[in-house]
Amino acid sequence: MRKIGSEKKLCLICMEEHDVDIIAVVDDETFKGEEVSFSATYEYCRDVDECLETEEMIKANSLAMKDAYREKVGLLKSSDIIAIRDKYGISQKDFSEVLDWGKATITRYENHQVQDRAHDDVLRKIDSDPKWFLEMLKRSKGKLTDKAFTKYHHEARTQYKRKENQYLIDSISAVYADYEDEMATGCTELNLIKVVEMINYLATKVSSLHKVKLMKMLWYSDVLHFKRNNAAISGLVYSALRMGAVPKAYDQIVSLEGVTFDTVNYGDSESIAYRFQPTSGFQIRELKQSELEALDTIISTFGNLNTSEIVRRMHAEVAYKSTPSDGVLSFEFAKQLSID
């Protein structure tokens, strides 16, 4: 046994007032046919060498025993269930409503009752799949107040977006795991925070920043910084496509959280263009002075050019002319970049 505290009070064991110890003991019990060990707390009287559980301790010890059982058989612990509910900011009662489980079910699971396996699976799925929770929430809209629904919906959307962004980061990282050559990465490890900051910085300073122009300006900024400092800014790897440089995993990159664009429709329905905008609340946290200087040079050189002018400039670069179509643009040509 281990002493975890003591308090001067009326000892309910010997009925004298003295310092009563609080102790932690490892208890063993059989629950639903499983032998479980758990840490239980008791009051302890040194004078008569006996233990006693207060009302509160009985509850806590029972919960500790059931959590030990849950852990042993692979069920969520009560604290895990509370954490899932907290993640979506939903009350016990409303969570039960959304799940269609009967009003007090979640409250019982968070306290004294061990959940069954099917309910455990549902809770795990909600934890890992905010999109599924969103669907369940929509289905139970009529059972919640408007205010509660709006709040939970917002939380679930936030969780969903965060999850989606993590998925994007993972898939971009998987693509970039194939490129270790320093002349492909510009001797720089991929930094997606910097990539998002570069896009926002360019969008802040360039009025009509469309996709092709953005891609070129990222490449020029990285190569110029490499030329000046022997290292690129972002760690992006660029392919030489028909219109010039395009970063690997471009589609995922522009979907990252913190990148904002409008879609602009030009006359006929087939030509929809992305126009990048600064994200509201955008701040520079990671980009260094030399990196901002490279971006500024590129902005003053290309900021006012239209897409075909910038594509023409790109096509004249030694790096582009020396790279087979669809090949990776190497930073070894940085010295010959047309800008200093």
Question: Rule CB under 5 A: which residues touch Zn ion?
Answer: 11, 13-14, 45, 47
CB 95 within 8 A of CB 137: no
Closer Cβ to Zn ion, 13 or 148, answer by number: 13
Closer Cβ to Zn ion, 13 or 169, answer by number: 13
CB of 59: closest distance to Zn ion in angstroms? 23
CB 318 within 8 A of CB 333: yes
CB of 52: closest distance to Zn ion in angstroms? 9
Q: What is the DSSP letter of 305?
A: -
3-state secondary structure of 43: strand
For CA atoms 168, 173, 174, 179, give the dihedral sign.
positive
CB of 20: closest distance to Zn ion in angstroms? 6
Distance CA 259, CA 255 (A): 7
CB of 1: closest distance to Zn ion in angstroms? 16
Closer Cβ to Zn ion, 13 or 73, answer by number: 13
3-state secondary structure of 8: strand
Closer Cβ to Zn ion, 19 or 86, answer by number: 19
CB of 17: closest distance to Zn ion in angstroms? 9
CB of 18: closest distance to Zn ion in angstroms? 6
Closer Cβ to Zn ion, 45 or 75, answer by number: 45
For CA atoms 178, 180, 181, 182, give the dihedral sign.
positive
CB 201 within 8 A of CB 295: yes
Q: Give the angle 195-206-285 at the CA atoms, nearest 5°.
A: 35
CB of 49: closest distance to Zn ion in angstroms? 10
Closer Cβ to Zn ion, 46 or 228, answer by number: 46
CB 28 within 8 A of CB 69: no
**Phi, psi of 28, deg, nearest 5:** -115, 140
For residue 69 the two structure tokens come to 């059982």
Hunting for tokens 């500790």 — which residue is that?
Answer: 64
Closer Cβ to Zn ion, 18 or 163, answer by number: 18
Count of positions (residues) in the chain: 340
